Each structure stands twice: as C-alpha cells, then as structure tokens.
Amino acid sequence: PPPFTGVWMGDSKLCAIGVHCGNHITSHGLALNCCTDLTWFDHIVPCGLEGKGVTSLSHELGRHIAVDSVLEPFFDSFQEVFDCTLDFSEDPG
C-alpha cells in the first residue's frame, strides 16, 4: 500500500524491491518470496516496517511454489514490461 514499495497482499509484503546508491555505484535488487520459511521474519522487523507482515506465493496460494517454476514466467513478464531482451551468460536457475 502506498507509500511503501514492493508488492503487497493486504498488509503483508510479497516482493521487495530496492535501490542503493553510494560511492558512485548504483545497485538494485528484487526479492520475490516463493516458498520462503516465513518464521525467519518473526525475529526481525522486515524492511524496517513496524506492524507489517511478510507473505509468500506458497502461503497465499496454499500450495508449494518452487522458485524454478516462477523464473520463466517472471523473466517473460519482465521483458514485456521493460521492452527488453534478457541475455544470460549462465543458466539463471
């Protein structure tokens, strides 16, 4: 929910995105929770957001969603949205 970044299911974050700039270097990242053990988040304040939860595709869909099953559709959607072609020097899996 605005103003928070990422992908949300209600008050729980499903996907985190971030950008870091420092020392003339910019890095970025994305973390999509597919089959994450959500109990690890009981020990931290995820993304520094008090009172917000974390979820996963497996939790939301009620069945195991393996990372390998998400890669191809994710990359296809990424290429479509950003009008680009991804070129892998190694197998992304």
Range of the domain at 46: 7-82
Place of tokens 């950008």: 19
For residue range 1-14, list pLDDT tens digits in order: 567 888 999 889 99
In the numeric block, which tokens belong to residue 25?
A: 């270097």
Question: Residue type for 41, please?
Answer: F
Q: Which residues belong to the active site?
A: 47
Distance CA 44, CA 49 (A): 10
Which pair of tokens denotes residue 50?
């008090």
- What is the C-alpha separation between 64 and 82, in angstroms, rounded? 28
Residue 90 belongs to some domain of the structure = no
Which pLDDT tens digit goes with each residue over 41-63?
989 888 888 888 999 999 999 99
pLDDT of residue 1: 56
Report whether 4 contacts 17 (CB < 8 A): no
This prediction's pTM: 0.79
53 falls within a domain: yes
- How many folded domains does the chain comprise? 1
Measured distance CA(32)–CA(35) in Å, rounded: 9
Is the pLDDT assigned to residue 85 strictly greater than 70?
yes
Mean pLDDT of the chain: 90
Residue 67 inside a domain? The answer is yes
- What confidence category does residue 93 fall into, taking pLDDT thresholds of 50, 70 and 90? low
pLDDT at 92: 57
